[in-house]
Structure 1
Amino acid sequence: MVEIVRNANELEKVILKEPHGSVAEVSLFGGQVISCKNERGEELLFLSSKATLKPPKQIWGGITVCFPKFCNMGALERQGFAKTRLWSIDPETPFLSSGSSSTGDGSNKAVIDLLLKPSENDRRIWPHIFELRLQVALGPGGDLILTLRARNTDSKPFTFTIGLHTYLSVSDISEVRVEGLETMDYLDNVRHLERFTEQGDALTFEGEVDRIYLSTPTKVAIIDHDKKRTYVLKKEGFSDTVVWNPWERKCKAMTDLGDDDYLHMLCVEAAVVETPIVLKPGEEWKGRKKLTAVSSSYFSGQLDPDRVLHG
């Protein structure tokens, strides 16, 4: 089922519901998924305790679309402007209720298609004409699938970086580990984008982490030991993976996060950062990200790789 409602600030949001009880909420402001609950009513996405669900400030949490820039490399504002714009429901495919699907696989999904085109103000910031489309689909098992497409409708080429900045809800960041990035090179934003190679068999957290892992595998697993839950992120079209947690000092300095919010969040996002995308007039880029939450399988503290990373 797909339902369009207004929040307390009179902004429209879309509610996606699938038959087993999973529910997702998508704000038209920012084109942003702000909530995704499984069939047991457990929230999978983190939303800041100080989140403001109204313009002009971005919504801190959920899944943010970063375009036409990701990270702080280059002259544009960090993470671009798409996250603070009002998107519209795509008139070509306004919405599809459960029982139908425009995702092409014939499965039973609740789907919404959103569209962003640049305003005159946007073109003064970034002088290009484009169409940015985001499809959000909620599957029968509670899987959340985001398909992002950028089309050049200008008369000249343009270059951009892009990402789906995903805030995951975790019980305690010190009890979380990320698997699937072993031996990967990364740019460390805490160390002025110096390049390193991941040495551990998993990434764990004892302080601030802000890393751009380069040319990463399609699957990453985030294991939350306390909740006995594993998030599986699968990406297509995105070359890189960004991992971020601000930790205590930086979190307290950020006006949009609560002092202790860093304990209960972890950002792991599919992105294109190191090698920007170049689109000629009429060309389109497409990326896809799937978020699945499963019960963790353990043997001596290790996740069953056949179930998650190689499945």
Structure 2
Amino acid sequence: MNNSGLAVEVSKDRNGADQILLRNPRGASAKVSLHGGQVLSWRTDRGEELLFTSSKAIFKPPYAVRGGIPICFPQFGQRGSLEQHGFARNRTWIIDENPPPLHPNDACGKAYIDLLLKPSEDDLKIWPHSFEFRLRVNLTADGNLSLISRIRNINCKPFSFSIAYHTYFSISDISEVRVEGLETLDYLDNLYQRERFTEQGDALTFESEVDRVYLGSRDAIAIFDHERKRTFFIKKEGLPDVGVWNPWEKKSKAMVDFGDEEYKQMLCVNGAAVEKPITLKPGEEWTGRLELSVVPSS
């Protein structure tokens, strides 16, 4: 697949999982693994890595990779008998050879790949709902990264799910960044049994562990990294909530697939639909979009 300097290459990782490398004419790139349908890398045209992946990440099923953009589906968090953050991030996706047409803008001038996840027999035992989860990963000519998810109910009964794109941004130093676009919002605080609070600050800064879901956010969030002089912009559709997570020191030491000091170089800010699960009737389809961009800032 190669047109006007856009390239899509398929290779294998060290455990035999297929990976797809997307490149644009300027040299920006994104790498997507069929293990979890997960974006593992997103680089600028100067080769700077924009996503964090732990040096201790495990790239082998049944583990989810600690970093990049894991997809949390059909739940975000820990509820009921399903594993935390659902099973989509641990499954092997396939390349979707016949994706139904998207809007023409979703392919024009972009390197992209279409992936598909359907439940296995074992998945249906733990979550008895038939679905088709289609994911398009796009790299634009400007180097922006977008993920378009379409989830269809092919059951004969309704089902509900929650979802999050658990994006690990690579940052200079957690104490040097701030997040804007969450001011005045209510949030559920996972450090206080999901108790509800209201954000008081005009920007979110970090000096200890944070594990929150901000509710009903506007559709654009910004992460300012003063030291690296760059700003990430997160735009989203169909994803009303925003998860914000940094494990800080104590929790970092308790995670086997995460370095003790790595919390300083990462921040998770997730487009999500958590508070009000999405319900699909038989034959219905939901679409959610996330677009990530980065700009130099002073």
TM-score w.r.t. the length of structure 2 is 0.95
What is the identity, as a one-letter code, of the residue corresponding to 2:91?
Answer: R
Q: Please give the root-mean-square deviation of Cα atoms over the aligned residues, in Å.
A: 1.3
Measured in 2, the distance between the counterparts of 1:72 and 1:246 equals 16
Compute the displacement of 1:54 (Å). 2.0
Q: Find out whether 1:195 has 2:201 as its counterpart.
A: no
Aligned to 1:72: 78
Counterpart mapping for 1:282-297 below 5 A? 282-297=283-298
Q: Find out whether 1:61 has 2:70 as its counterpart.
A: no
**DSSP-derived class of the 1:286 partner:** strand
| Structure 2 counterpart of 1:16, from 22, 29, 43 | 22
Measured in 2, the distance between the counterparts of 1:77 and 1:7 equals 25
Q: Find out whether 1:238 has 2:239 as its counterpart.
A: yes
Aligned to 1:112: 113
What is the identity, as a one-letter code, of the residue corresponding to 1:144?
Answer: L
Compute the displacement of 1:11 (Å). 1.2
What is the identity, as a one-letter code, of the residue corresponding to 2:238?
Answer: G
| Contact preservation (8 Å) 1:71, 1:79 | yes
Measured in 1, the distance between the counterparts of 2:181 and 2:80 equals 29
Counterpart mapping for 1:18-37 below 5 A? 18-37=24-43
Compute the displacement of 1:102 (Å). 5.8
| Contact preservation (8 Å) 2:81, 2:126 | no
Counterpart mapping for 1:139-178 below 5 A? 139-178=140-179
Compute the displacement of 1:144 (Å). 0.1
Aligned to 1:300: none
Deviates most, 117-126 or 4-13: 4-13
Measured in 2, the distance between the counterparts of 1:45 and 1:291 equals 11
Measured in 2, the distance between the counterparts of 1:282 and 1:242 equals 29
Q: Deviations over 1:88-143 (max 9, x none)?
A: 0002049xxxxxx9652163100100000000000001001000011000001110
Aligned to 1:280: 281
TM-score w.r.t. the length of structure 1 is 0.91
Compute the displacement of 1:61 (Å). 0.5
What is the identity, as a one-letter code, of the residue corresponding to 1:262?
Answer: Y
Measured in 2, the distance between the counterparts of 1:93 and 1:203 equals 39
Aligned to 1:123: 124
What is the identity, as a one-letter code, of the residue corresponding to 2:186?
Answer: D
Measured in 1, the distance between the counterparts of 2:212 and 2:164 equals 14
Q: List runs of 5+ in structure 2 lacking aligned partners.
A: 1-6
**DSSP-derived class of the 1:251 partner:** helix
Aligned to 2:3: none
Q: List runs of 5+ in structure 1 lacking aligned partners.
A: 95-100, 298-311
**DSSP-derived class of the 1:252 partner:** helix
| Contact preservation (8 Å) 1:102, 1:111 | no
**DSSP-derived class of the 2:166 partner:** strand
What is the identity, as a one-letter code, of the residue corresponding to 1:27?
Answer: S
User: After TM superposition, where is structure 1 displaced by more than 4 Å over at least 4 residues in a row?
Assistant: none
Measured in 2, the distance between the counterparts of 1:33 and 1:176 equals 23
Identical columns (%): 58
Measured in 2, the distance between the counterparts of 1:151 and 1:269 equals 22
**DSSP-derived class of the 2:70 partner:** strand
Measured in 2, the distance between the counterparts of 1:228 and 1:35 equals 20
Aligned to 2:252: 251
Q: Deviations over 1:46-88 (max 9, x none)?
A: 0011012221211110001111001224442210000000000
Measured in 2, the distance between the counterparts of 1:218 and 1:87 equals 28
